[in-house]
Chain A
Amino acid sequence: MPVTDVQHDLDALTLTITADFAAPVERVWQVYADPRQLEKVWGPPTYPATVVDHDLTPGGRMTYYMTSPTGEKHAGYWVVGEVDEPRSFTFEDGFADADFNPLPGLPVSRCVYTFAEHDGGTRATYVSAYASAEALQQVLDMGVVEGASAAIGQIDVLLAG
């Protein structure tokens, strides 16, 4: 498994995941720079993502929708912040209506993706932060969970902090 580390930070409501990929940094960057590759990895085969607008530049906008197993479409958007190709980019990820207008009052997560050369491959660090526990709960309630079933028994990970 490429995942090498997972940090749950209850104080900052942040999930940080580190993964090592056997490919150069530039290749991993392409996954995000190419909308056809991004949609392949964003949603699972049972809940596929379709990227519509794609502008991975500072202030740029990405829009996408995910199609549920029953055919319902859930739209989302990214507002890109800083871009340091091919090493890192930041964005806000939120929910949108069918015309890709941000839905007010719904949670937005702040994301930082970083890619660094590591042992001939790439170490990717994905950070997602939520403004409140309510926002995190809402994100999980909204179907973004893609039907993922929760594993339990993480008490040690949580309380180790």
Chain B
Amino acid sequence: MVTEDADRADALFHALADRTRRDILRRVLAGEHSVSALAAKYDMSFAAVQKHVAVLERAGLLIKRRSGREQLASGDVAAVRSVASMLTELEQIWRGRIARIDLLLSSDPDSDSDQED
């Protein structure tokens, strides 16, 4: 279970570690796009864009469906949140530590004048 989660985390981070893929994800989170409409937005081949879409799909961040001759892609909001939540959990630990440092410093007997050594 833990290993599965870790594999999933690797796939998610790999998918998001590329600027073009993050840009594609931004677009498909905002609404469904055809892969050819996405490809038109970038200065790269259709095949290259299709490959980026496939990486996002394998990471579970993007869902594809077929409509006639078109492939339509949309973002999976819940999956994006799971990546964000890992760094956010860590951020919460830090916020706790910083609040405690602040409390400790403000409990100094003479907190704005000379410090004792």
Where the two chains meet, the residues of A that have a C-beta atom closer than 8 Å to any C-beta of B are 1-3, 6, 8, 10-11, 13, 15, 17, 19, 21-24, 26-28, 30-31, 37, 40-42, 44, 124, 126, 128, 132-134, 136-141, 144-146, 148-155, 157-159, 161
Contacts and interface: CB of A to CB of B under 8 A. Distances in A.
A151 B92 contact: yes
Contacts of B26: 159
24 contacts: A1-B99, A10-B13, A10-B16, A22-B112, A23-B108, A27-B108, A28-B105, A30-B115, A31-B105, A44-B100, A126-B98, A133-B6, A134-B7, A139-B90, A140-B89, A145-B89, A150-B85, A150-B92, A151-B85, A153-B81, A154-B87, A155-B80, A157-B84, A159-B29
Interface of B: 2, 5-7, 9-10, 12-14, 16-17, 22, 25-26, 29, 77, 80-81, 83-102, 104-106, 108, 111-112, 115
Contacts of B108: 23, 27
A146 B96 contact: yes
Nearest to A30: B115
* Majority SS at the chain B contact face: helix
A126 B96 CA distance: 13
Return the 6 tightest CB-CB contacts between A and B, nearest first. A133-B13, A154-B84, A148-B92, A150-B85, A8-B87, A137-B9
